[in-house]
């Protein structure tokens, strides 16, 4: 650890806020000199400038640039039209990548929302609710890398007949004597599901916390009234609770969709895309660093962006309605 690195970190932590404050007072000082109209017109832009510059340089311009690069060759020197996209949408190996993302999208989102809702509703009825929720939420605090290690350990496999060290194979062989231990991350019929389970394990806590907050927002008297009218618990859930929570469910589902589309860490750490477990974000990383093909890498990134645009529009519309 060089001293200068620590020093730089200190400069960043103390110096950046100081410099920003100084900038703001300088702006206000300069605006005093300007005329009334110019002042009102200039102020918002000067206040927004630091954020605007960062957003343009690191998000907006790069996004546009990437879109352009996706129509160029590996070294970004020659335009190739739609060749990169044609490759992604016709090459058999790439179709597996797209298929995997689609499976992740559907299964991960549906299961996470359902299990999160179930835990929120069930734990609402017991006194140790806080403890259950804390335990389920815990994985949200750790990294996907750590979760990857945890679950690689859970999925360990030893040949049948030997001692199973992996928790899952050990439990299954103990419960049913005829069970043959499985190499969960290697069998092509199971490995994607094994990875998706890790994602679900990490994100259910998120869905549960938000759905639980929505659930608490439903007035108890509405539910009481329904029960007095003779509604059974199942009816109360499907006819009253579920419809009232529709907007919360949408919020949770869209957030999950956004995160699952760019799923990367868990695949990178656990299989690195081997044996048909590749996903878009991991493949894009490989195109960048292993194959140096910046055209294809860009095309993958653009596909992610395009897939997310409907969610983006939905968000903007929703905010436009409620916000202003």
Partner 1 sequence: MSVTMTMAGRRPRGGLLAARLGARGLLHLVLVVVGLVWLLPSVGLFISSLRPANLISSTGWWRAFATPFQFTLENYAHVLGQANMGRSFLNSLLIAIPATVMPLLVAAFAAYTFAWIPFRGRTTLFLVVVGLLVVPLQVTLIPVLRLFNGLGITGSFPAVWVAHTAYGLPFSIYLLRNFIGELPGEMMESAGLDGATHAQIFFGLVLPTSVPALASLAIFQFMWVWNDLLVALIYLGGTPQVAPMTVTISNLVNSYGGGWEYLTAAAFISMLLPLVVFFSLQQYFVRGILAGSVKG
Please report how close the Cβ of residue 96 comes to partner 1 at its closest, in angstroms.
19
Please report how close the Cβ of residue 62 comes to partner 1 at its closest, in angstroms.
4
Contact between 203 and 112 (Cβ < 8 Å):
yes
311 binds partner 1 (CB under 8 A): yes
Q: Quick one: 96 or 257, whose CB is closer to partner 1?
A: 257
164 binds partner 1 (CB under 8 A): yes
Q: Quick one: 148 or 199, whose CB is closer to partner 1?
A: 148
Residues 68, 253: Cα–Cα separation, whole Å: 31
Residues 242, 239: Cα–Cα separation, whole Å: 6
User: Per-residue x/- marks for partner 1, 130-149, CB under 8 A?
Assistant: -xx-xxxxxxxxxxxxx-xx
Can you read off the two tokens belonging to residue 117? 């809702």
Which residues lie closer than 8 Å to 237 by C-beta, 6 or more apart? Answer: 121
Residues 85, 70: Cα–Cα separation, whole Å: 8
Selected range binding partner 1 among 84-92, 94-102, 182-190, 296-304, rule: CB under 8 A: 296-304
304 binds partner 1 (CB under 8 A): yes
Q: What is the DSSP letter of 9?
A: H
List 106, 122, 160, 225, residue binding partner 1 (CB under 8 A): 122
Give me the sign of the Cα torsion angle 91, 97, 100, 106.
Answer: negative
Closest by CA to 113, choosing from 206, 197, 216, is: 206
74 binds partner 1 (CB under 8 A): no
Selected range binding partner 1 among 82-90, 102-110, 183-191, 277-285, rule: CB under 8 A: 277-285
Can you read off the two tokens belonging to residue 274? 């081997």
Can you give the length of the chain in residues?
324
Contact between 164 and 177 (Cβ < 8 Å):
no
Give me the sign of the Cα torsion angle 285, 290, 292, 296.
Answer: negative
Q: Which of residues 30-49 bind partner 1 (CB under 8 A)?
A: 40-41, 43-45, 47-48
Q: Quick one: 96 or 284, whose CB is closer to partner 1?
A: 284
The count of other CB atoms within 10 Å of the CB of residue 69 is 20
Q: Quick one: 95 or 306, whose CB is closer to partner 1?
A: 306
User: What are the backbone angles phi and psi of residue 273, rounded to the nearest 5°?
Assistant: 80, 5
Q: Nearest 10 degrees: CA dihedral of 115, 120, 126, 131? A: 90
323 binds partner 1 (CB under 8 A): yes
308 binds partner 1 (CB under 8 A): yes
59 binds partner 1 (CB under 8 A): yes
Selected range binding partner 1 among 59-67, 77-85, 90-98, 100-108, rule: CB under 8 A: 59-67
User: Per-residue x/- marks for partner 1, 238-267, CB under 8 A?
Assistant: ----------x--xx--x--x--xx-xx--
Q: Quick one: 96 or 287, whose CB is closer to partner 1?
A: 287
Please report how close the Cβ of residue 263 comes to partner 1 at its closest, in angstroms.
11
9 binds partner 1 (CB under 8 A): yes
User: Per-residue x/- marks for partner 1, 101-120, CB under 8 A?
Assistant: ------------------x-
Can you read off the two tokens belonging to residue 118? 């179930």
Q: Which of residues 196-225 bind partner 1 (CB under 8 A)?
A: 201, 204-206, 209-210, 213-214
Contact between 85 and 295 (Cβ < 8 Å):
no
Q: What is the DSSP letter of 82?
A: T
69 binds partner 1 (CB under 8 A): yes
């Amino acid at each position: 650890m060089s001293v200068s690195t620590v020093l730089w970190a200190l400069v960043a932590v103390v110096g950046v806020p100081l410099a920003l404050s100084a900038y703001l007072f300088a702006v206000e000082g300069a605006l005093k000199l300007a005329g009334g109209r110019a002042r009102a017109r200039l102020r918002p832009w000067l206040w927004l400038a630091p954020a605007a510059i960062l957003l343009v340089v690191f998000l907006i311009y790069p996004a546009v640039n990437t879109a352009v690069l996706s129509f160029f060759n590996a070294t970004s020197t020659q335009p190739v039209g739609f060749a990169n996209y044609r490759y992604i949408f016709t090459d058999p190996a790439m179709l597996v990548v797209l298929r995997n993302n689609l499976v992740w999208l559907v299964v991960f989102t549906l299961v996470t929302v359902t299990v999160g809702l179930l835990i929120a509703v069930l734990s609402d009825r017991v006194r140790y609710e806080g403890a259950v929720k804390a335990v389920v939420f815990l994985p949200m605090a750790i990294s996907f890398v750590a979760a990857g290690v945890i679950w690689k350990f859970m999925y360990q496999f030893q040949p049948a007949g030997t001692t199973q060290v992996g928790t899952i194979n050990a439990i299954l062989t103990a419960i049913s004597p005829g069970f043959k231990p499985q190499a969960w991350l290697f069998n092509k019929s199971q490995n994607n599901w094994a990875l998706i389970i890790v994602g679900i394990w990490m994100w259910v806590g998120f869905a549960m916390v938000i759905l639980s907050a929505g659930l608490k927002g439903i007035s108890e008297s509405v539910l009481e009234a329904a029960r007095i009218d003779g509604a059974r618990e199942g009816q109360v859930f499907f006819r009253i609770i579920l419809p009232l929570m529709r907007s919360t469910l949408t919020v949770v589902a869209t957030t999950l969709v956004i995160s699952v589309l760019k799923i990367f860490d868990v695949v990178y750490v656990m299989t690195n895309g081997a044996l048909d477990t590749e996903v878009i974000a991991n493949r894009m990383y490989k195109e960048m660093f292993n194959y140096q093909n910046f055209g294809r890498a860009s095309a993958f990134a653009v596909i992610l962006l395009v897939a997310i645009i409907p969610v983006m529009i939905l968000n903007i519309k929703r905010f436009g309605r409620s916000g202003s």
